[in-house]
Amino acid sequence: MQSKFLVKFLTFTILVFSLSLNAQDGEHEGTKEERDLKTEIKESIDHHIQDSYDFIFFSDTEKNIHYGFPLPVILIDEGFHLFSSSKFHHGETVAESNGKYYKLYHNKVYRTDAEGSLSLDDHDHPTNIKPLDFSITKSVLMIMVTGILMFLLFTGLAKSFGKGPIAKGAGRFFEPIVVYIRDEIAIPNIGEKHYKKYMSFLLTVFFFVWFLNLFGLTPLGINVTGNIAVTFALALLTFLITQFSGNKNYWKHIFWMPGVPVPMKIILAPIELLGVFIKPFALMIRLYANIMAGHIVLMSLVGLIFVFRNWIGSSLSFVLSFAISMIELLVALLQAYIFTMLSALYFGFAVEEHEHDEAH
């Protein structure tokens, strides 16, 4: 409650002081320039939270120069097409490959003619052919980097245990986390009899989500776990493992719950079956919404520094941005913990063994 009150109080203070100083400021900027600045800030936020076909470190908007490197575009469209994303020139030009032309529109690739013509429907959605896209985008690249980092990290940790009972190097920091996931998440929720076969997944998903969340807090514009396709894939894995692990007691509690009257069983069966799909859906939305909202709030607060244009409003915006950044570090770890905890809980439901005769 105190943290929420502090955030609201600081935000209100920024607005009051900024409006009062702007009202007294005789050199206040024109509305057109303000509109251009707000548009630029919005575009910067959109660029940060969206995936892209090139990796941009930073841009000079005045000179329209981008500093980064292109990524490979891989398309299946009446054949195989492989070319560099530099052909798009950040969406400004048409790319040609094997006699076919492609254009970026709202960060998606469509087949066009040599002039880059797009036909739109009544809802401004392109009706052009959209090829199968297997491109190495910025998010895909960061998933690969995170996977390599985790492989090197845990390979080194395993080798250090082979040489002695005490981990060395970075393993000394990560060993307590591994032990915590085993002793405080896996065993209590799954049970000592079954937890071992799920440890590899729980460790992988925890560090995968955590590392990607931390990468998302860097100025590189990385928002992998804020991409609903990524959170959907993670939730789908949890869903599949849970269903394939389910024993007869698990399915019996879904379709014919023991210990309740028959009319109630008929009512509860569809509700329980619906819950099978709601649980992974909640996993997907929780991770996506928290990470996406955090990025938008943080980038918006940074943008307020340039909107207020006075030392009080800009200073308070900077302080509030720093405070939110510290909170986001905690959220990055917390969301990884929650995803891992709930996955372990669902696995525990699937393999739990009941002795109904003794209970009755």
Higher pLDDT, 61 or 250: 250
pLDDT band at 56 (very low <50, low <70, confident <90, very high): confident
Per-residue pLDDT, 22: 42
The model's pLDDT over 181-228, given as tens digits with 9 standing for 90+, comes to: 999 999 999 988 889 999 999 999 999 999 999 998 887 778 899 889
| Residue range 138-169, pLDDT digits in tens | 999 999 999 999 998 888 888 877 776 777 77
- Report the sign of the C-alpha dihedral through residues 312, 317, 322, 324, in that order: positive
Going by the DSSP 8-state scheme, the letter that residue 183 receives in this structure is I
Mean pLDDT of the chain, nearest integer:
81
Residue 12: per-residue pLDDT: 41
63 — pLDDT class (breaks 50, 70, 90): low
70 token code pair = 């292109």
Domain boundaries, the chain: 66-136, 139-355
- Say how far apart CA 222 and CA 48 lie, in whole Å: 7
Q: What is the pLDDT of residues 239-282, one digit of tens each?
A: 999 999 888 888 888 888 777 788 888 888 888 889 889 999 99
**DSSP strands (E only) in the chain:** 54-60, 65-70, 72-76, 80-84, 95-97, 100-105, 108-112, 132-133
pLDDT reported for residue 37: 67
The mean pLDDT value for 17-31 works out to 42
Which one is predicted more confidently, 250 or 233?
Answer: 233
Residue range 42-58: mean pLDDT, rounded: 75
- The model's confidence at residue 180, banded by pLDDT at 50, 70 and 90, is very high
The residue assigned the tokens 């955090």 is 294
Task: Record the pTM.
Answer: 0.81
Percent of the chain with pLDDT over 90: 30
Taking 50 as the threshold, does the pLDDT of residue 58 lie above it? yes
DSSP 85: G
DSSP string, 147-165: HHHHHHHHHHHHHHHHH-S
Q: Between 114 and 160, whose confidence is greater? A: 114
